[in-house]
């Protein structure tokens, strides 16, 4: 059977899209060291991702932008990204393995708790999604250097939260997430009261 593992990256981030990957592995072309991407170093993920892309029967990565996340909510956006990834596979699967979610697709599927640690195909998808999203955030860093995206990858780290307070959110932030919404409100109030804002070009 053609079993596709699926997982997402960036679900808890405050900035940017959520990415999902699907991977159908070839049991005859074993990839050693696959594990939940969060347990692996960036260097190890960078080593494994090309192996997955080369040895997999099929793989795909898809994304859903921040505006859609705000419109749908992050769970639905993550599911949508996964369905897009399945649709983009060069070889269509007949079975899906997912990490604690289900998809509205006419395919037999199984949802596993901690699936990225229990299934090598889910682990492979988690690595592909994480590597792709990290690369995207590295690119976006040059356009939004004030948020230090290269380091925090859009998550709510102390430096990112401080940048939101100082500069306000960008158009690629997720306004349905409380820290972004609160920063937007603070920036708007400061502008109305002519309070000083560090940095220019804050977007609210």
Per run of 10 residues, the mean pLDDT along the chain (length 204 residues) is 96 98 97 94 97 98 98 98 98 97 97 94 98 98 98 98 95 96 74 49 36
The strand pairing partners of 5, in sequence order, are 23, 97
* Domain residue extents for the chain: 3-141, 145-192
pLDDT at res. 193: 57
pLDDT at res. 189: 55
What torsion do the CA atoms of 137, 49, 44, 13 make, to the nearest 10 degrees?
A: 30
Model confidence, pTM: 0.90
Class of domain 3-141: alpha beta
Token pair in block for residue 33: 């060291």
pLDDT at res. 184: 86
Strand order across the beta sheet in which 108-112 lies: 58-64, 18-24, 3-9, 95-99, 108-112
pLDDT at res. 186: 67
pLDDT at res. 185: 81
Chain centroid to CA 21: how far?
A: 9
Q: Which helix (H) or strand (E) holds 33?
A: none
């Amino acid at each position: 059977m053609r079993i596709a593992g699926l997982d997402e990256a960036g679900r808890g981030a405050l900035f940017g899209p959520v990415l999902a990957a699907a991977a159908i592995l070839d049991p005859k072309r074993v990839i050693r060291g696959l594990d939940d991407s969060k347990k692996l170093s960036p260097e190890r993920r960078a080593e494994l991702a090309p192996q997955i892309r080369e040895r997999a029967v099929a793989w795909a990565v898809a994304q859903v932008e921040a505006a859609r996340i705000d419109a749908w909510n992050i769970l639905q956006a993550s599911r949508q990204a996964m369905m897009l990834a399945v649709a983009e596979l060069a070889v269509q699967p007949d079975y899906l393995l997912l990490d604690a979610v289900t998809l509205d697709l006419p395919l037999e599927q199984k949802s596993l708790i901690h699936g990225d640690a229990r299934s090598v195909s889910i682990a492979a998808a988690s690595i592909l999604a994480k590597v792709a999203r990290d690369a995207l955030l590295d690119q976006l860093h040059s356009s939004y250097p004030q948020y230090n995206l290269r380091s925090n990858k859009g998550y709510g780290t102390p430096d990112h939260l401080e940048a939101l307070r100082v500069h306000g959110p960008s158009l690629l932030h997720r306004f349905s997430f409380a820290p972004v919404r609160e920063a937007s409100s603070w920036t708007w109030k400061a502008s109305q009261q002519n309070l000083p804002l560090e940095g220019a070009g804050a977007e609210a």
